[in-house]
Amino acid sequence: MKAPFHPGDLIAIQVRPARMWTQSLSWVLFVASIVLYVQFSIARHRENPEDRVAPSLHQLVQGVKASVLQPAEEDDPVDANAPLFERVRHSMLWKDTVASSRRFFIALALLIPAVLLGLHMAVFPYAGAMFQRFVLFFDKIVALSLLPILFIVFGIEEWSKIMLMVVGVAPTLILDACNIARSVPREQIVKAFTLKSTNADVAYRIVLKQVMPQLINSIRLNLKPLALFLFAGEMIASTDGLAYRIAIMRRHMGMDIILPYLLWVAWLLFFVDAVLLFANRRLHPWYQPL
Amino acid sequence: MVSAALKPDPTGLIVPAAQRTEIALCDVSVKYPVSRSAAKTVLCGINLEIATGEFVVVLGETGCGKSTLLRLILGQEFPTTGTVTVDGKPVKGIDPRCGYVPQKYSLFPDRTVLGNVMYGPENACSRVLGRVRPSYWRFRRSLRADAREFLERMGLRTQDMDKYPHQLSGGMQQRVAIAQALMMHPPVLLMDEAFSALDPSTRASLQEQLHALWLESRPTIVFVTHNTSEALLLGTRLILLGRHHDDEALRSNITLDMEIPTAQLPFARRKQSSEFQDLREHVKLLAYNCSSMNREKGSPDLLSKAGDPQ
């Protein structure tokens, strides 16, 4: 039988909170943030009804409507009687999301070789000897400082932004993949060789397969740095994208657009993370995280 | 295929081992660098010939070089001086003629029990690109049936065969690890403290099973253990290793190398025999003396770890 809740449990280690408690506590900070924001917004609107720093709930709804149903200022207007799907497809939010997502997923795809390089560095000693020091050094270079070079090399179009993301995240991912692959017990590699495995078998069928869940987790942890470099690139030189829109709206103090965009970006990252987590669990049911 | 190879020996008694030398170590020494100018000698003056079909048990305290000896035969390490040969050929790398069962991490966690056991024979049959041929899939079906049969003989239930290693107990995992190695019919089986992490009853059952499997297919087994009873119970030959000291530059680590007389008795009666008890006390005393010598020389006493609950 479960022991009844005691206030002292809140700072105890050897307790197992009831499901009702864990669910309630996990939402407390969200509710508190919303309440605080509403209070702050009401206070500002009491002083200045036209305040744009903390838009009211009504202003936020109008902002969301404008983002989701109306095209950007620089685009042609859409017929107000057009079907909802058409209006959404030509909307500002849709256009920016597609532009940012394209860059994000191209960069993510370009990071796959980085993961493979990390694996090879761990498994093949000569590859490790060749790349380890260089990648360690490269990891210490602040990626944003490379942006002017990337602009010169790739121009100010798409590729400079994509390469900024790749250059920013790849070294960390390579080193992480290398460390993860090195954690495979030596006994298993030896055993695989006694079972007539080739070098390629050991690298791809033993080590890579075993570390795949941890590699996916590593990619999940790097989603935010990836988005950070995407935003940096888009804010500096872009004509579309989620960060570009936030940067434009900042000039107009358009918090009614910025706040929904901010939440949308967080939700998108959360969604990608959840998809990777789900795929990881489905594809690797044997994985036992520590 | 497998079942035929593992057909039981009708006599059930130990027959004298064949005299052909399977493993030979000649003047082997192993040194590890501890600093730029100094090296620590782990093994020294090892001269050993192991005949085909022998069950050699290597006993000794922690740090005496038992596992190093095993890794030399396996080809995972190379001697600083001397030569190691398996089946007359010098060991130049990890040799697929040797099966290997370590104490832990012996199974691939991403494969089911059946997947683990079938991994070796699948590799031996064809490379990845050859797996599109129908003949491969026919082979795989028959291999699957053989693997199931073998695992059943090892004491695994049908419902355990599609489980992942983490879903099995330690004893079951080691059974699968032994099956995984034996499915390749290796002429040499190297076991590095394979039963050390198991509880006494599981250990006893696995000892019996391993002995039965050895009787059936007679591979050459080199079994490393801390446990004196286990060593005397399983082996036909005992090698007691002592720790090497740098002030005894030429002394061999091999303190004792003897045929185990009780190996001639049926397995079930061995432990009860007075000869076995006397032998155990004798070997334990020898091991203790070795360890005492180490204590006098300032090495930590590790004999207690080689404790012998049986």
Model confidence pLDDT, tens digit, residues A205-233:
999 999 999 999 999 999 999 999 999 99
Counts of helices then strands in chain B (DSSP H, E): 9, 10
| B102 located within any domain | no
| B89 located within any domain | yes
The answer to whether B96 contacts A188, with C-beta atoms less than 8 Å apart, is no
Q: How many Å apart are CA A193 and CA A212, to the nearest integer?
A: 20
Shared domain check, B72 and B196: yes
Shared domain check, B168 and B85: no
Express each pLDDT in B45-62 by its tens digit: 889 999 999 999 999 888
Contact by Cβ (8 Å): A238, A244: yes
Shared domain check, B242 and B199: yes
Please give the distance of CA B37 from its chain centroid, rounded to a whole number.
35
Q: Name the domain boundary from B135, B167, B185.
A: B185
Residues of B within 8 A of A201 (CB-CB) are 123, 128
| B140 located within any domain | yes
Shared domain check, B153 and B50: no
Q: How many Å apart are CA B107 and CA B94, to the nearest integer?
A: 18
In this prediction, residue A28 carries a pLDDT of 96
In this prediction, residue B15 carries a pLDDT of 44
Q: How many Å apart are CA A72 and CA A70, to the nearest integer?
A: 7
Other C-beta atoms within 10 Å of B36: how many? 5
Residues of A within 8 A of B130 (CB-CB) are none
Q: Select the residue from B95, B114, B119 to test the A interface by mutation, using most A Cβ atoms within 10 A.
A: B119
Judged by a CB distance cut-off of 8 A, whether residue B76 touches chain A is yes
Q: Select the residue from B105, B110, B185, B191 to test the A interface by mutation, using most A Cβ atoms within 10 A.
A: B110
**For chain B, where are the E strands, in sequence order?**
21-33, 39-51, 55-60, 81-86, 89-90, 98-101, 188-192, 220-225, 237-241, 254-259
Chain A residue nearest residue B106, CA to CA: A188
Q: How many Å apart are CA A196 and CA B98, to the nearest integer?
A: 10
The answer to whether B96 contacts A192, with C-beta atoms less than 8 Å apart, is no
Judged by a CB distance cut-off of 8 A, whether residue B131 touches chain A is no
Instruction: Measure B113 CA to nearest chain A CA, in Å.
Output: 12
pLDDT at B243 over 80: no
Residues of A within 8 A of B102 (CB-CB) are 187, 190-191
Shared domain check, B297 and B196: yes
SS3 B10: coil
Shared domain check, B151 and B11: no
Contact by Cβ (8 Å): B76, B84: no
The answer to whether B96 contacts A187, with C-beta atoms less than 8 Å apart, is no
Contact by Cβ (8 Å): A223, A216: no
Q: Select the residue from A186, A195, A199, A208 to test the B interface by mutation, using most B Cβ atoms within 10 A.
A: A195
| B103 located within any domain | no
Express each pLDDT in A266-290 by its tens digit: 999 999 999 999 999 999 999 987 6
Contact by Cβ (8 Å): B276, B232: yes
Residues of A within 8 A of B76 (CB-CB) are 190
More confident residue, B1 or B161: B161
Q: Which residues are B55's β-sheet partners?
A: B221
Express each pLDDT in B66-108 by its tens digit: 899 999 999 999 999 999 999 989 999 998 889 999 988 889 9
Judged by a CB distance cut-off of 8 A, whether residue A195 touches chain B is yes
| B135 located within any domain | yes
Q: How many Å apart are CA A106 and CA A119, to the nearest integer?
A: 21
Average pLDDT rounded to a whole number, residues A54-83: 83
Q: Name the domain boundary from B185, B206, B241.
A: B185
More confident residue, A202 or B20: A202
Express each pLDDT in A151-184 by its tens digit: 888 888 889 999 999 999 999 999 999 999 999 9
Shared domain check, B197 and B125: no
- Give the number of A-B residue pairs with CB atoms closer than 8 Å: 70
pTM of the predicted model as reported, rounded to 2 decimal places: 0.83
Express each pLDDT in A92-143 by its tens digit: 899 999 999 999 999 999 999 999 999 999 999 999 999 999 999 999 999 8
Judged by a CB distance cut-off of 8 A, whether residue B164 touches chain A is yes
Shared domain check, B140 and B257: no
pLDDT at A2 over 70: no
pLDDT at B214 over 60: yes
In this prediction, residue A277 carries a pLDDT of 96
The answer to whether B74 contacts A194, with C-beta atoms less than 8 Å apart, is yes
Burial class of A211 by CB neighbour count within 10 A (0 to 12, 13 to 18, 19+): buried
Average pLDDT rounded to a whole number, residues A178-191: 94
Average pLDDT rounded to a whole number, residues A30-38: 95
**For chain A, which residues make up each domain, given as ranges?**
17-52, 92-283
- Lowest average pLDDT, out of A34-48, A207-221, B290-304, goes to B290-304
Handedness of CA A160, A166, A172, A178 (dihedral sign): negative
In this prediction, residue B202 carries a pLDDT of 84
Residue A24's pLDDT band, with cuts at 50, 70 and 90, is very high
Determine phi and psi for A82, rounding to 5 degrees: -65, 155
Instruction: Measure A6 CA to nearest chain B CA, in Å.
Output: 36
Facing B96 at nearest CB: one of A193, A209, A288: A193
In this prediction, residue B249 carries a pLDDT of 57
pLDDT at B305 over 70: no
Residue with tokens 């939010």: A93
The answer to whether A210 contacts B119, with C-beta atoms less than 8 Å apart, is no
Number of domain units in chain B? 2
Shared domain check, B66 and B204: yes
- Lowest average pLDDT, out of A225-229, B108-112, B116-120, B203-207, goes to B203-207
Averaged pLDDT score across all residues of chain A: 91
Residues of A within 8 A of B111 (CB-CB) are 286
In this prediction, residue A178 carries a pLDDT of 97
Judged by a CB distance cut-off of 8 A, whether residue A285 touches chain B is yes
pLDDT at A38 over 50: yes
Residues of A within 8 A of B197 (CB-CB) are none
Residues of A within 8 A of B165 (CB-CB) are 286
Residue with tokens 């990071």: A111
Q: Quick one: fold of A92-283? A: MetI-like fold (1.10.3720)
Percent of all residues in chain A with a pLDDT value above 70, rounded to a whole number: 99
Residues of B within 8 A of A214 (CB-CB) are none
Shared domain check, B41 and B114: no
Shared domain check, B68 and B212: yes
Q: How many Å apart are CA A237 and CA B128, to the nearest integer?
A: 47
Residues of B within 8 A of A190 (CB-CB) are 74, 76, 94, 100, 102
In this prediction, residue B14 carries a pLDDT of 46
Average pLDDT rounded to a whole number, residues B205-219: 89
Contact by Cβ (8 Å): B52, B22: yes
Q: Which residues are A92's β-sheet partners?
A: none
Average pLDDT rounded to a whole number, residues B163-174: 91
Judged by a CB distance cut-off of 8 A, whether residue B126 touches chain A is no
- Find all residues with CB under 8 Å of B39, minimum gap 6, and list them: B31, B32, B33
| Domain around B133 | 108-185
The answer to whether A210 contacts B106, with C-beta atoms less than 8 Å apart, is no
Averaged pLDDT score across all residues of chain B: 82
Residues of A within 8 A of B128 (CB-CB) are 201, 205
Q: Name the domain boundary from B138, B158, B185.
A: B185
